[in-house]
């Protein structure tokens, strides 16, 4: 299972990198058009916002894979090692539950789609694919946390 998650992370990183390049390029083009030529480009904000959504969704998944999310260890730093290890599993399971719930809520929101008026204001780009992107990113994060838990409980298994 760990290898399957790793094989998904690399393409997500490339998607995020490409989206970041598109976001940077559209921002530069928008600034140049607005301030040098006095001609703002209609709908550029919509393109930037949906591109940023792709960057963030891929970032959630890639950071989950590389364990790069911000963690504040206020309690763990004051506990003895044994107690810190004892609470690590329940906290990781709680994180997996929160990510699973977030993924489910995003899928539920995506189910409504355009009927609920979920689209950008200028170009009417549907939010549906971006809800799905975030739902999949949080599902990936939940799966990563569950694999972490599995390997904490059964460190000798390799999946």
- Reported as a single tens digit per residue, the pLDDT across 52-94 is 999 999 999 898 888 877 776 677 778 888 887 788 889 889 9
127 domain-assigned:
yes
Helix (H, G, I), strand (E, B) or coil at 126: strand
Compute CA distances 118 → 43, 112, 114, 125, 136, whole Å.
16, 8, 5, 9, 18
User: Residue 37 and residue 35: Cα distance in Å, rounded?
Assistant: 6
pLDDT at residue 31, as a whole number = 95
pLDDT at residue 114, as a whole number = 67
159 domain-assigned:
no
pLDDT at residue 81, as a whole number = 80
User: Residue 135 and residue 139: Cα distance in Å, rounded?
Assistant: 6
Other CB atoms within 10 A of residue 90 CB = 10
Which residue segment(s) compose the domain that 32 sits in? Answer: 2-153
Total domains in the chain come to: 1
* 78: Cα within 13 Å, side-chain hemisphere: 3
Q: Which residues in the chain come in under a pLDDT of 70?
A: 72-73, 114, 155-159
51 domain-assigned:
yes
**Selection from 141, 129, 159 nearest residue 101 by Cα:** 141
What does the DSSP 8-state code read for residue 113?
G
96 domain-assigned:
yes
pLDDT at residue 152, as a whole number = 78
pLDDT at residue 6, as a whole number = 75
158 domain-assigned:
no
119 domain-assigned:
yes
User: Residue 149 and residue 158: Cα distance in Å, rounded?
Assistant: 13
Helix (H, G, I), strand (E, B) or coil at 119: strand
Torsion from C-alpha of 85, 91, 96, 98, nearest 10 degrees = -170
59 domain-assigned:
yes
């Amino acid at each position: 299972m760990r290898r399957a998650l790793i094989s998904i992370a690399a393409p997500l990183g490339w998607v995020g990198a490409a989206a970041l390049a598109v976001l940077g390029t559209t921002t530069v083009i928008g600034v140049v058009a607005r301030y040098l030529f006095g001609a703002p480009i209609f709908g550029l904000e919509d393109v930037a916002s949906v591109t940023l959504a792709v960057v963030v969704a891929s970032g959630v998944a890639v950071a989950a894979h590389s364990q790069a999310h911000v963690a504040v260890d206020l309690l763990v730093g004051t506990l003895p090692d044994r107690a810190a290890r004892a609470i690590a599993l329940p906290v990781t399971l709680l994180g997996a539950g929160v990510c699973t719930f977030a993924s489910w809520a995003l899928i539920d929101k995506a189910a409504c789609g355009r009927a609920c008026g979920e689209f950008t204001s200028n170009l009417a780009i549907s939010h549906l694919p971006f809800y799905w992107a975030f739902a999949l990113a949080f599902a990936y994060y939940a799966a990563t946390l569950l694999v972490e838990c599995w390997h904490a409980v059964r460190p000798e298994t390799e999946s």
